[in-house]
Amino acid sequence: MYKKIILLLFLMIFILCGCSKPQKEPVVNTLDDITKRGEVVIGIKTDAYPFGFKDKNGKFAGYDVDLANMIGQEIFKKKGKVKFVPVTSSDRIMKLFSEDVDMIIATMSVTPSRLQILDFSNPYYIAGQAVMVRKGSKIKGLSDLNGKKVIIVFGTSSESSLRAAVPRVSILGYKTYSEAVKALKQGKGDAIVSDDTILIGLSLKDGNLVLLPKRYSREPYAVAFRKGIESEDLVRVVNYVIDESARNGTLQKLQKNYGIKKY
């Protein structure tokens, strides 16, 4: 009798844990699903002019948006649309993992640590980290940041490279670039370290901010996907769009139109 009860208990635990049979996770959000859905959902920045921003009519615009539209065109030809979802540096990976978006095109650099958890397309732009200061600042480069308070945006590659390059720096993090700029202008920190692409846009808008000329890293921007087989076909289409538009000069034309300079 006891034996039977114990056996029954084991069986129930086994079934409740879902371990009775190795369960196969269905592969969702593949290129096939997206084509059937008729909509691809892409995470885009709104605070990274000229890569991702809102234009005066409140519409998503920028180099990343144009690339997203080219991808949508390639996926659907005519019948389908691209839906944009706003992301920030600090929430973009979370929005990808929570399946709010199918991919992110958000000034995102390919880094060894990100490669462990994400799949990436081929690069579509190479940026470099730079330093932005208030006008009149004595800071002339990275080496002047030792012992200083430096502002970064959470979730960016700047934090780790800054800690490695400037051991005695004290870091102040914000969620968005507008908060970071506000803090710099209020004197809460001595400089902002981030990609030249984003800092150029910010310094051009504000005469009190100066972007220093030196670049300190190589930041290959690529489209990011959830890691795994669900993304294989998607990555292939996106790579085709990137490689083809680099080959036929479309990417270079866009860079010129947006005034994105390569350093």
| Interface residue list for ligand GLU (CB under 6 A) | 89, 107-109, 153, 156-157, 194-195, 198, 219
Q: How far is the CB of 109 from ligand GLU (least distance, A)?
A: 4
For residue 245, give the 3-state DSSP assignment. helix
Nearer to ligand GLU (CB atom), residue 30 or residue 90: 90
239, with CB counted inside 10 A (0-12, 13-18, 19+), is middle
Nearer to ligand GLU (CB atom), residue 29 or residue 161: 161
Q: How far is the CB of 89 from ligand GLU (least distance, A)?
A: 4
Is the omega angle on the peptide bond into residue 86 within 30 degrees of 0, that is, cis? Answer: no
Q: How far is the CB of 202 from ligand GLU (least distance, A)?
A: 11
Q: How far is the CB of 48 from ligand GLU (least distance, A)?
A: 6
Nearer to ligand GLU (CB atom), residue 72 or residue 155: 155
Separation CA 31–CA 193 (nearest Å): 37
Nearer to ligand GLU (CB atom), residue 28 or residue 164: 164
Cβ neighbours of 173 (radius 10 Å): 18
Q: How far is the CB of 47 from ligand GLU (least distance, A)?
A: 9
Separation CA 23–CA 255 (nearest Å): 47
Who's near 135: CB < 8 A, 6+ residues apart? Answer: 207, 208, 209, 210
Cβ neighbours of 31 (radius 10 Å): 19
Nearer to ligand GLU (CB atom), residue 31 or residue 127: 127
